[in-house]
């Protein structure tokens, strides 16, 4: 075994499985190995050194907890409800062209990334430039997906902050800051941040703020991971 990595599954089936992990020897995963304590077999050997057993169990627990952030991706599941569609949007100003690139263009369900397809917002050169969404109820937000403009100037969204909370004026905790605009779709994991109001704000400079779509997905409490050590 040349490399060893301890992984934790978030599958609920793990709770029903007496194996916490198992050795993997397939060629495609030759550098991964799961460590497993199997009470019926290994317990006898571990009983010879209870201290070692406890220490190793704690080590696995710590590593597993550290791996949670890696294991729990926040990408919305297929068919998940986009709560933004039933919200109400506003923005710091609206750029003076026709058709009007109003705030609601970011929650119209159309994810086209060409501004000239008339489904993106556009503010004036504001400081701060902001877009806000009233979700109309408190939500534990799992993730926010932002679709950025691609026909021009995607870099305008750099350092935009997504904030979530219950303050209607937008002064809320930060879920994340956009630092990478290499892809049209940007997903921010909010880890269950709770709030009724969501905002996207560029405050460090005067900037045009354009959003082709903003999607909001709620934390799914039914899919909480079952710790494998229980």
List contacts with Ca ion (CB under 5 A). 108, 110, 119, 213
Q: How far is the CB of 117 from Ca ion (least distance, A)?
A: 9
Q: Closer to Ca ion at the Cβ: 114 or 177?
A: 114
Minimal CB distance residue for Ca ion: 119
Q: Closer to Ca ion at the Cβ: 130 or 131?
A: 131
DSSP collapsed to 3 states, 67-136 = HHHHHCCCCCCCCCCCHHHHCEEEECCCCCCCCCCCHHHHHCCCCCCCHHHCCCCCCCCECCEEEEEEEE
Q: Tokens 């219950």 map to which residue? A: 166
Q: Closer to Ca ion at the Cβ: 107 or 163?
A: 107
Q: Closer to Ca ion at the Cβ: 207 or 213?
A: 213
**Contact 131/200 with Cβ under 8 angstroms?**
yes
Q: How far is the CB of 211 from Ca ion (least distance, A)?
A: 8
Q: Closer to Ca ion at the Cβ: 213 or 219?
A: 213
Q: How far is the CB of 146 from Ca ion (least distance, A)?
A: 11
Q: How far is the CB of 120 from Ca ion (least distance, A)?
A: 6
**Contact 157/188 with Cβ under 8 angstroms?**
no
Close Cβ partners of 26 (under 8 Å, ≥ 6 residues apart): none
Residue 31: DSSP 8-state: T
Nearest 5°: the CA angle 119, 171, 110 is: 15
Q: How far is the CB of 85 from Ca ion (least distance, A)?
A: 11
């Amino acid at each position: 075994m040349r490399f060893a990595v301890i992984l934790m599954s978030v599958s609920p089936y793990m709770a029903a499985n007496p194996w916490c992990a198992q050795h993997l020897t397939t060629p495609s995963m030759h550098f991964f190995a799961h460590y497993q304590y199997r009470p019926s077999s290994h317990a006898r050997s571990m009983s010879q050194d209870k201290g070692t057993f406890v220490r190793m169990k704690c080590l696995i627990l710590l590593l597993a907890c550290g791996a949670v952030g890696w294991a729990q991706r926040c990408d919305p599941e297929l068919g998940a409800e986009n709560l933004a569609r039933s919200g109400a949007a506003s923005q710091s100003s609206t750029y003076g062209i026709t058709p009007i690139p109003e705030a609601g263009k970011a929650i119209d369900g159309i994810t086209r990334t060409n501004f000239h397809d008339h489904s993106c917002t556009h503010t004036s050169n504001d400081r701060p430039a902001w877009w806000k969404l009233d979700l109309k109820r408190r939500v534990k937000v799992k993730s926010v997906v932002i679709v950025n403009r691609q026909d021009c100037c995607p870099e305008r969204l750099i350092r935009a902050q997504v904030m979530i909370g219950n303050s209607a004026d937008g002064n809320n905790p930060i879920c994340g800051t956009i630092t990478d605009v290499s892809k049209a779709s940007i997903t921010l994991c909010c880890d269950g941040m709770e709030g009724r109001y969501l905002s996207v704000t560029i405050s460090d400079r005067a900037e045009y703020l354009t959003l082709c779509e903003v999607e909001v997905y709620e934390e799914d409490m039914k899919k909480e991971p079952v710790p494998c050590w229980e």
